[in-house]
A and B are shown apart, each in its own frame.
Chain A
Amino acid sequence: MTEKHHAAHHGKKKVAGDKEWEPKIVGFLCNWCSYAGADLCGVSRFQYPTNIRLVRVMCSTRVSPHLVLDVFGAGADGILIGGCHLNDCHYMTGNFHTEKRVNLMERLLRVAGIDEARLRLEWVSASEGEKFSKVVKEFTEEMQKLGPSKVCTDDMVKAKVAAADDASETFRLKALVGKEFNLLTKGNAYGDKLDPEKLTGIIDAATEDEFERALILELARIRPMSVKQLGKVMDIPTDRILRHIVLLRQNSEIAMDHPEGFTPVYKTITIGGEQ
């Protein structure tokens, strides 16, 4: 189920209708460096492919995993995040947090089965107009090669991206990634700086956990499922699923829908009739 395998079928081919498929790319650019760099690129008349659509934010640090994963969920083939070079951030430390957030986004894309190459973080200064055009050219070519995102054609991928989005919004991941930069540079409440490898390990494990739980909720929202069925669809051991289910039941996020023989079938609890 790799994307490359998929690309072999769809890349550069005509898709539904007579229009030749073109990648759709969204760029989130910070106001002070990258947006200005894109402006200079225009002023200098450096040409690049027309696929990218740019959205201005004040700082790249504003680009939360939710923004990116939701836009991927809506069918974007590629997303570019542009910020100031490290140590040149208009808001001093904003882009250091961006880096950490992008790490999380990449982790989540990985588990959701989306090629990480579809997300690109670039530092483009206000004076790097030419660099901006190069980045967009390269990125567009790369997306051409990767082919269309499977979000719109594969329900499982769609569910996984939605789960990744939900996971990114959990308290645990947001708090961990939000504090990551300060934990590594300033230290924790006791002034101890954390070992980067150890912290990465903690975040990796948390990402996997939260993603799996979010995916269980996503799948059991679509139709009630047993532990065994979930294990099969998600391709992970049933004891892991069971552990997640126990926790989700404690949090009143999932409940037994009905038994099938002796096997309980679970359904996600939705609030306010949300489907």
Chain B
Amino acid sequence: MPENTSTEKEKPRIGVFICHCGSNIGGFVDVKAVTEYASTLPDVAYATDNLYTCAEDGLNNIKETIKEHNLDRIIVASCTPRTHAPLFQRTCEAAGVNKYMFTFVNLREHCSWVHMKEKEKATQKAKDLVRMGVARARFLEPQEETRVDVTPTALVVGGGVSGMTAALSLANMGFPVHLVEKDKELGGFVRSLHALMMTTKSANETIRPLIDKVNAHKNITQHLSSHVASVEGFIGNYDVSIGGDGAEPKEVKVGTIIVATGAVPLVPDGLFGYKEHPGIITSSEFEELCNKKELPRLKSVAFIQCAGARGQKVSYCSRICCNVAIKSAIHIAENRDNILGVTEEKAAEAGEAVEEPAAEKKAEEEGSERRRRRRGRGRQAEDGAGEEGAAPSSGVEVTVFNRDVMAYGVENELEFNKAREKRVKFVRYGPDNLPKVSVKDGKLEVGYFHETLKMERTMPVDMVILSTPLVAQPDAATLSQLLKVPLGQDGFFQEAHVKLRPVDFATDGVYVCGACRGPADIAESVSQAAGAASRASIPLANGFVQAEALTSVVDETKCTGCGTCVEVCPYSALRKNDEGISEVIAAACKGCGCCGATCPEGAITMTHYTDQQLLAEAKAALEEV
């Protein structure tokens, strides 16, 4: 026990600091009355009010008062512990009071801001809340945080763009990295793609330098055709078994783990006539055809966006498919890299003249210029479907059926504009009026409801490309269980905080990046991977981690070894020792309290959230004053 805290025999000396938060609390609660009341409560040695407790002078006031009045527990009654507890805890520690002797009372979010029209009742509630805090504080005990050594090695699961970037970042920092990839080569989903947006290089050319760097890096150990077979341990000390095809599993020790397993495109079985005609394909199958140079001669192509997304097979918007469609549409319209697979020889054989690209471009520019002048407005090109006759005489007619175009960001918006300049038509459909793909005499056609004309139309096409969403890897659930990290409702890995901790998991020591967290494009995946690598490097660089002292504690004299706690712990933070008694691995315990509430013998106590503390706090709410 640290010297600076009182022994049990000493009477607690509680200091209460009540904050006006400008007028945020002071305007709706009689703070002076609450402070006066607080000073009458048992074991309260000092009570005061501050205009802003979190300001420099407020914090200094706490520190000085702790010394002056020999306080051993501090209560701040102000805003929410979710944002301000660490600040006040640091202040307490600076003045020699253990941070676990600090209690937060929420007078702003839970009182003044929600009872703005009843000052008297809000003041009464504020008094009750302070009384509850005091009741809790009386039973607090100082805690010491455990320090755990960290193995300075990382594991990256997934050898796609995200995984490679993360591995490379960590390797460049000097940490050994184990990179596990289930395929027999690196590259991930991008390897199957043909062309990318905003670059004239092919997908493979684009990621080649990244693969080469990973291959050449001495700090990276690759495990190809492999998977994570088992994971034991906790932050800093993971024992990972890597299984390969028929090979003996390899055991590695790592300190942190990055999940970068990517995503897969949805197979739109039963949607839009998929598989009923060879011309109905998904956007990823389109990429494959381009790669193999097997694309047939096309005159008219229709993209159908959100095929299977947003309420059909999955609920979410996959974000990237609009940009993929825009990219492909431009490539088709431009016949870039001769994407349509018609070589000059072939064309000559067929007796068809291949358009001079420059002439085509000129015609395009004139066409779009004319149209711009005629319309005098930008985005309304969606109406273009009404002008089927206005399609350029050369090239291919490309129509993108969409619910709305998700071309977010500056670059994507420019590409969207470019597609429209290339006379790609964007036709809207509503969720209740999905386009219908049908085959008539062996020919494809798309029936749709024209939103502007308010009438049904049909469009003959050679090919229908279904833009299907990215969905979670089918084996994501297995990995999530191995690593004890959660999946969201859509099966993607779920980060610790949607805004503030986007590449962390709630489990310390495990991080996430790329499309396994939700659909992401290459640039986003790379930034997330760099972020995840940076987060994962912190414990590696420090060489140790400090575990919060919110853990369960087993009373060995009460434990009968029934093992119920071991079963319910989501983090495997409990195990049976040689004597068959449960023991807690403090570094792995996250303090949820499940084992404590479960233990049939009442042998488990949750530090800092004991029954005694919680009951004192809750029952204090019921006292008549």
Instruction: Show the binding face of A for B, using Cβ within 8 Å.
Output: 24, 26, 28, 31, 35-36, 38-39, 41-43, 45-48, 50, 53-59, 61-64, 66-67, 70-71, 74-76, 87-94, 97, 101, 133, 169-172, 174-175, 177-179, 181-182
Contacts and interface: CB of A to CB of B under 8 A. Distances in A.
Contact of B568 (A56, A66, A75, A178): A178
A24 B622 CA distance: 7
A38 B109 contact: yes
A92 B486 contact: yes
B597 A101 contact: yes
19 contacts: A35-B80, A41-B114, A42-B113, A42-B114, A43-B109, A53-B132, A53-B621, A55-B614, A55-B617, A59-B593, A64-B596, A67-B618, A71-B615, A71-B622, A87-B488, A88-B486, A92-B570, A94-B570, A178-B568
Contacts of A170: 600
B82 A35 contact: yes
A171 B110 contact: no
Contacts of B614: 28, 55, 57, 62, 67
Contact of A53 (B125, B494, B611): B125
B506 A91 contact: yes
Interface stretch (B7-15, B115-123, B401-409): B115-123
Contacts of B125: 50, 53
A64 B82 CA distance: 23
B327 interface: no
B580 interface: no
Across the A-B interface, give the 10 residue pairs with the lowest CB-CB distance, nearest first: A62-B593, A42-B109, A178-B598, A53-B621, A64-B597, A174-B600, A42-B113, A91-B592, A59-B592, A50-B121
Given A67-B614, A133-B114, A178-B564, A75 B593 contact: no
A218 to B, nearest CB: 18
Contact of B550 (A43, A58, A89, A175): A58
A179 B564 contact: yes
B122 A50 contact: yes
A94 B568 CA distance: 9
Contacts of A87: 486-489
B506 A97 contact: no
Interface in B562-577: 562, 564, 567-568, 570-571
A47 B592 contact: no
B22 interface: no
B107 to A, nearest CB: 10
Nearest to B617: A55
Interface stretch (B421-429, B463-471, B601-609): B601-609
B37 to A, nearest CB: 15
B114 A46 contact: yes
Nearest to A43: B109
Given A58-B609, A94-B594, 5 more contacts: A50-B125, A59-B594, A62-B594, A91-B594, A92-B570
Contacts of A57: 593, 609, 614
A98 B608 CA distance: 20
Contacts of B606: 58, 62
B554 interface: no
Contact of A47 (B82, B116, B550): B116
Interface string B612-625: 00110111011000
B124 interface: yes
Contacts of B564: 174-175, 178-179
Contact of B611 (A67, A75, A91): A67
Contacts of B593: 57-59, 61-62
B171 interface: no
Contacts of B568: 93, 97, 178-179, 181-182
Contacts of B114: 41-42, 45-48, 133
A254 B591 CA distance: 38
Given A62-B606, A76-B622, A87-B488, A45 B601 contact: no
B601 A171 contact: yes
Contact of A45 (B116, B121, B122): B116
Contacts of B592: 58-59, 61-62, 90-91, 94
Nearest to B593: A62
Contacts of B599: 174, 178
B490 to A, nearest CB: 10
B600 A171 contact: yes
Contacts of B609: 57-58, 62
Contact of B618 (A71, A174, A175): A71
A201 to B, nearest CB: 20
B108 interface: yes
Interface string B575-590: 0000000000000001
B484 interface: yes
Contacts of B597: 61-64, 97, 101
B129 interface: yes
B81 interface: yes
B623 to A, nearest CB: 9
B106 interface: yes
A118 B179 CA distance: 54
A179 B567 contact: yes
Nearest to A77: B622
Given A62-B592, A178-B600, A24 B621 contact: yes
A88 B497 CA distance: 11
B424 to A, nearest CB: 37
Given A47-B117, A57-B609, A89-B486, A169 B602 contact: yes
A56 to B, nearest CB: 7
B128 interface: yes
Nearest to A85: B489
Contacts of B550: 58
